[in-house]
Chain A
Amino acid sequence: MGADTAEYLDCLRQGCSSFVLLLLVPLTILLIGPAIRPVQAVHQLTFQRMQQYDLSGSSRGSSGVSLNCEVRTLSSASVTRRCVVLSWKEFIANDLRSIVNRGVVALIIVLPRNLSTIDGDNRQAFVEAERSILRMELQIPVYFANQTDVVTEWLQSLSFHAELNAPQTAVEELMQQITGDYFYLSSNQYSVKQLNDAKATNFVGRLGSGSAVGGSENQGVIVLVAHLDAFGVAPSLSFGANSDASGVAAVAETVRVLSKLSRSQKSSPKIDLMVLISGGGKYNFFGTKKWLDEQGENAESSLASRIRYAVCVDGVGNGGQLRTYVSRPPKEGSTIGRSLQFLNQTSEKVMDEVALMVHKKINLADDELAWEHEQFSLAKVPAFTLSRVSMDSGSERRTILDVDSAIDMKFLMKTVEILTKTLAADMYGFTEDESNVLDSSFLAVDEDNIKSWMRLLTQQPRSLQMLTADHPAMAAVKEHLTKHLTEVTIKQLTEKGDTELIVYGPMEVTVTASRTKQPFFDLLLTAVIGLYGALVYFLLQYVDLITVARRLLGPLLLGSGIRTRYSKPTKYQ
């Protein structure tokens, strides 16, 4: 009995000490705890991937997809094996090559919610930055993020952590390792895949008697061209409102007006109008080239020899001066020369301005042509491009900033009117004396039609990658041409296995941004927990806290009327 009691008390002594100890240690941990911010949930972000395509054997754009990295900002000391988030301002202000050379594994460029807020000099710089990044051969993934609410929230939490910026001393570096939060990005897609559904498609139609009536054959055709696709640094952000939604809208309206005119006239036009809505226009005018190749091969129809001239419409929606771009000055007395003269006269009448003729030689050293008519010029077909874009570098027509808000409907209307009248005069051989026909209501351009075309074409991105068979613009063009024209053909330009033009996806990835700690933090945590365990063990083993507790609690217990005199238990035999 006695032995039991002694044992019991020993046990108690040990027990009570551990009891007290357990209370103390969590409290100490807690003292450092509240300084840390509470947690936020994981962010799901949608990023737009940069262009990637092979054109005539050369690869362009960024070939990376997979994101699995920590996020840093540009000001961080070390960005090696991290991905860097840039604002669009940083994107235009920095030399991207030097950033990439610092060992970055991915670039994320944050765009403003509304792209039209980039204007003036910034716009110019952005367009140039787009051009230069597309010229770099990038193995790392480059993503663009529209600043949606989620992205904004994520960026705020990112910039909140100033630790992401450069630590100055070793101590700061160490503290950052412990206290700093890091963002880790991981994408749901890992590999590049060839987009087989996106095929460049040419839509061709003819207005006039066509090949059925022999007489009109000799008179030849005028080709009216606009390309359907748009281009920008990221395919899923390429809306191409000015280039070339405005061109397609202008052609569509011209087709409507001229077909109405042809129905009103007793005779069929002397010269037919051939309409080509080409595909892959942003890839060195791939569709136009293919179409011309086809005509050259097909000697029987020898359409190429009967083309009087070709009019390409590209970028006519902005407010600039109307220009006609030619590869060589037209000969006196040629159809194209007369046509350009007539166009100038009409332009003066309609807009009170002369269309500026820009003579730009084809630069064969450049691997991509600047204007669509140059493909015709190379095939020895007289051609010009009608445009309001001043730069002939082409960058202005190859940007994600080419959005709907830059379109001036008044200028677009006037351009369509000029174009319609010029073509009508050429087709029917109207002279200026017969201008009453040209001023008649038959040739009235309808603004609502053009507006609805622009809406349709710019509501979804229209890059080649996005122009699959179910794209609304494809269906609308097909329907419109079938309604107003004859001999409509729709031809996909690439077959499976063709390597001339290959586009790659994915265009969009979903990325999980999670807040993480450095591995060092977990190691330190283990050390702290280990110390905690050791402390508990040590105190339980070697310190008899019961005496301490008794001494501390003595007055309290006395006050409550409980005896506290501690009598050392006697060992009973």
Chain B
Amino acid sequence: MTFYHLINCVALSVLPYLATYKFYNLAEYRAFWKCAYAAFVFLASQMVKMLVLASLFPIAENPTMTFTPTRLFYEILRHSVDLIDLAALSHVVNKLALKGDLKFVASGLGWAFAELVAFRLMPFWLEARGSEFSWIHLMSAMEANVNLVYYIAVAALLWSLSRSDFNKSLQAPVIGLLVLSTYKPVVLQVLMQVFHLGGWFTLFCNALYSCFLGVVALGLTTALTETSVNGYAKSQ
């Protein structure tokens, strides 16, 4: 039954990706290689991050779970490296030659899928088949769902920032949101320690946050695409 469990995990994590790819008609826009480009950039940015982390942030001698102010500062510094992700994703969003929202959907999807393959599918293959049942794999599969929303939302926010018709007064809050997203793991770690919570809590918070980010992105992009369409319609 363990192989069956592996199939379950993979199905739960991959199905939404396939659905998104299919229903955005990305195939029709020949966006496969564009998603692949996003995935490639994801891998490249991971490589860069790894190099930076390895050379600048040595692994703590005895990693403790307690958060001292120094440790917190260290963690914040360490997660600043994740800003590279934002820059890379922003590059992908602007680079892809696709229409409007397809731009950020394709880049978000490619990015999240690369993350899924690199960090989740491999552990599934190696561990979910083991005789020991572990919720970790199902959690990871669910997190892949959450991540899809999260990365598309982040890509959408990055896309709106790059728009010339974007309301300038909203620029600061959106940038703030993006930076908060980067430091979200630190916040979660602190929360986990204060309230003695486990993996489910992290997942729940991630889902909640992604949901919020998704709604914001949805609002902004809907408005932007509408103004552009309307503007285009008026000029006709």
Show the binding face of A for B, using Cβ within 8 Å.
5, 8-9, 11-12, 14-16, 18-20, 22-27, 29-30, 33-34, 36, 38-39, 41-42, 181, 184, 186, 512, 514-517, 519, 522, 525-526, 529, 532-533, 536-537, 540, 546, 549-550, 553, 556-557, 560-564, 566-567, 569-570, 572
Residue of A nearest to B20 (CB): A18
The stretch that binds A, out of B49-57, B66-74, B78-86, B127-135, is B127-135
- Count of CB-CB pairs between chains A and B under 8 Å: 167
Residue of A nearest to B105 (CB): A15
B63 CB-CB contact with A under 8 Å: no
Q: In chain B, residues 5-49, which have Cβ atoms closer than 8 Å to a Cβ of chain A?
A: 5, 8, 11-12, 15-16, 19-20, 23-25
Contact A14 B211 (CB under 8 A): no
Contact A20 B207 (CB under 8 A): no
Q: In chain B, residues 163-214, which have Cβ atoms closer than 8 Å to a Cβ of chain A?
A: 167, 169-170, 198-201, 203-204, 207-208, 210-211, 214
Chain A residues in 8 Å Cβ range of B218:
16, 19-20, 549, 553
Question: A512 to B130, alpha carbons, bound, how many Å?
Answer: 12
| CB-contact partner of A39 in B12, B16, B25, B134, under 8 A | B134
Question: A24 to B201, alpha carbons, bound, how many Å?
Answer: 17
| CB-contact partner of A8 in B99, B169, B210, under 8 A | B99
Q: Other CB < 8 Å A-B pairs besides A42-B131, A540-B19, A572-B236, 6 of them?
A: A15-B23, A30-B203, A514-B130, A516-B1, A516-B133, A549-B219
Q: Which of B11, B132, B167, B199 has the most CB of A within 10 A?
A: B132
Contact B15 A536 (CB under 8 A): yes
Residue of B nearest to A10 (CB): B25
Question: A567 to B149, alpha carbons, bound, how many Å?
Answer: 27
Chain B residues in 8 Å Cβ range of A12:
100-101, 225
Residue of B nearest to A569 (CB): B229
B102 CB-CB contact with A under 8 Å: yes
Contact A533 B19 (CB under 8 A): yes
Contact A562 B227 (CB under 8 A): yes
Residue of A nearest to B224 (CB): A562
Interface size band for B: 35 or more
Show the binding face of B for A, using Cβ within 8 Å.
1, 4-5, 8, 11-12, 15-16, 19-20, 23-25, 99-102, 105, 130-136, 138-139, 142, 145-146, 148-149, 152, 167, 169-170, 198-201, 203-204, 207-208, 210-211, 214-215, 218-219, 221-227, 229-230, 232-233, 236
| CB-contact partner of A30 in B20, B148, B207, B214, under 8 A | B207
Chain A residues in 8 Å Cβ range of B167:
560-562
**Given A5-B229, A533-B15, A569-B229, are A22 and B132 neighbors across the interface (CB < 8 Å)?**
no
Chain B residues in 8 Å Cβ range of A16:
101, 218, 221-222
Question: A41 to B134, alpha carbons, bound, how many Å?
Answer: 9
Chain B residues in 8 Å Cβ range of A536:
15-16, 19
| CB-contact partner of A20 in B23, B134, B136, B214, under 8 A | B214
